[in-house]
Amino acid sequence: MRLFHVSEESNIEVFHPRKPTRKDLDQTTALVWAINEKCLPNFLTPRNCPRVCYYVGPETSDIDKQTYLTSKTSPHVVVIENAWFQRMKNTQLYLYEFDPQYFTLQDENAGYYTSEHTQIPINQIIIEDLFSELFKYEVELRVVDNLWGIGEEIQKTTMNWSLCRMKFAQLKR
């Protein structure tokens, strides 16, 4: 298993645990966050890019596969707003890889792992073309005017899904 932290910053040498700001998490325990390789495509966008991500999981129904996937070879979809397309073309990302032995699973569906200890990356990978990187992972990228419709709809399916940075999404229509 490979674990990563994705950033637009090129020079992070040490990751210190930070207390979460999300109200649904224990705010007394500082953590270093990482993402597994399976869910890494959900983070191959500019940091604040709102997105709806979903992929086939073990409980995904055939009808949901037929309805929400347009390709038999792409079991993973990332949906962004067209307002972010140009920024995505011009963004370079850095993947900081961690030794997985120091992490524990936090959320299997989202691919999140956490560590309570300071982490030093074991590798750094530069991603210059986000679109090509998504395609390497067999991810279908969709570009839409507004994310709210697909975001609300996908939550009612058997797909594994994640809504990221939606506070930056266009207003609902």
Convert the pLDDT of each residue in 95-147 to its tens digit: 999 999 999 999 998 999 999 999 999 999 999 999 999 999 999 999 999 99
Q: Can you tell me the distance from the alpha carbon of 37 to that of 53, in angstroms, rounded to the nearest whole number? A: 14
Nearest CA-CA partner of 39 in 52, 53, 58: 53
Dihedral of CA 72/75/79/85: which sign?
A: negative
Is the overall model pTM greater than 0.95, yes or no?
A: no
